[in-house]
Amino acid sequence: MKKIIFVMLAACLSQTIAGAWPWDYTSLNLREAKEAQKYGTTNRYFATTGANSAVTSIKVKDPNLIPFGVYEKVDDAKFNAKIKKDEVQYNKIKDNLRKNKVDDYNTQAYPKDFYKVYRIAERIIRANNLDYINWRIAIKKTSDGEFNAMSSDMNYIVLYTGLYDTLADNEDAMALVIGHEMAHQLLGHGQRTAKIIRSLNRQYDFSTDTYANFDAAMRNAIANTKLQRMEYSADVEGAILAVRAGYNLNSAKETLSFINTLPYVGIVTSSHPNPEKRLQNFDENRKFFVEDKWKLEGRYNIYKSNVLQCNKSSDRTSIIISRGASRDQDSYYRPETVDEILLRYAYKSYKNGDFEDAEKYFNKLLKKDSKNPILYLYLSYTCEYLYKQTGNDKYLEEAKEAAKKGLVFAPDNKYLKDQAAAL
């Protein structure tokens, strides 16, 4: 009886294998071609989930009354003169890095590589007012050439040689990596990760407790979900840091494009998100970036600051970018508040012509700040365009009401007066 069952199972297995593995090599190649379309690295490298640049704003009323960042416009001649003066300092730092004796190139990066990383990181630090602490950056050689980077201790960033060499000709992409790792520390992800790890370290007797195994697996999955959210957040904040420093996000996106070609172990078991989802997150959030304003803010910050010194660290495998001159604490980097992000979403939705979203966001803001005349002005603009799009009278009434309420709190505001008269 056992022999009969074995023969039947063997027959079924052979048929299954035959169906899954066609010995007709032409059919096999066609099947593999379909898989290559899905997993082929070239396709994935050039895959894009959205436009290669931020959404172009449409022409709408915008008196530029909503500020983003604190800055003054800098005259080109003055800015260029400052940059020329800075280059003198940079050349001295480059010479100093070259003079330092290299003990072992097997563990220590070349001076030219340290200098390249220094220039990118220093520009990000100055543009974003991050010079309140010494930043440490290492270029770490790995035997397998791993494409990776990491950060710890609030101010320590490690670039693996596999990543550095891959992106060596794309400073925009390198800036996105450095910005991402800085963002982890600036947003407190190190502390949050440590707390998550502590919660996973409860002791169970896995050999006797089936529930403990299930519970541990569930807690790991939940922990990975939290860690993945932090990665999404660091991608966005890192991109903002890079934009302020004047880097091009179209070119910087190569970082995420390359990650999209790497093997992915799965959303439940990985602390990092699906690479395709990271590209989607990048594109979706970029629609709400105020890149032109952030670049002006970063330009102003660079103009108002001085070159930050750079030296080899005591470990000889990293560099130290020294902190800047002491100044008012309020002038240093602060992450956006929820309300600041919501305002940016509202404004960019309006500028991009997504008026339904803009109406939703402006109304949310007004629930928190019901006496803000500028919010009423932009809500009135938004509803006016919704009326023009839909012909729905409710939007016209909402536009009139918003202008009317705005005038209660700012009766002399020229734009509210003009808007009320136009409606």
Mind listing the pLDDT tens digit for each residue in 161-177? 999 999 999 999 999 99
In 3-state terms the chain splits into helix, strand, coil percentages (rounded to 5) of 60, 5, 35
Is-above-0.85 flag for pTM?
Answer: yes
In this prediction, residue 13 has a pLDDT band, given cuts at 50, 70 and 90, of very low
Of the chain, the end-to-end C-alpha distance in Å amounts to: 90
CA–CA separation, 166 vs 178, rounded Å? 14
User: Residue 412 has what pLDDT?
Assistant: 97
Contact 132, 323 (CB under 8 A): yes
Which tokens in the block code for residue 244? 């302020």
Which tokens in the block code for residue 82? 């400052």
Mean pLDDT of 29-55: 72
Which tokens in the block code for residue 187? 């947003």
Mean pLDDT of 105-122: 86
What are 144-154's pLDDT values in tens digits? 778 999 998 88
Which tokens in the block code for residue 75? 């005259």
In this prediction, residue 369 has a pLDDT band, given cuts at 50, 70 and 90, of very high
Q: Measured between alpha carbons, how far is residue 218 from residues 207, 227, 272 in Å? A: 17, 14, 17
Mean pLDDT of 296-300: 96
| Neighbour count for residue 37 (Cβ, 10 Å) | 9
Pairing, β 135-140 against β 149-152: unpaired
What are 388-421's pLDDT values in tens digits? 999 999 999 999 999 999 999 999 999 999 999 9
Least trusted range by pLDDT, from 91-100, 209-218, 374-383:
209-218
Cα-flanking dihedrals φ and ψ of residue 254, to 5°? -55, -30
Rounded to the nearest 10 degrees, how much is the dihedral formed by the CA atoms of 37, 43, 48, 53?
-160
In this prediction, residue 183 has a pLDDT band, given cuts at 50, 70 and 90, of very high
Q: Is the pLDDT of residue 131 over 80?
A: yes
User: Residue 190 has what pLDDT?
Assistant: 87
Top-ranked range on mean pLDDT: pick from 19-23, 231-235, 237-241, 315-319: 237-241
The DSSP H or E segment spanning 296 is helix 291-304
Top-ranked range on mean pLDDT: pick from 193-202, 224-233, 321-330: 321-330
User: Residue 194 has what pLDDT?
Assistant: 84
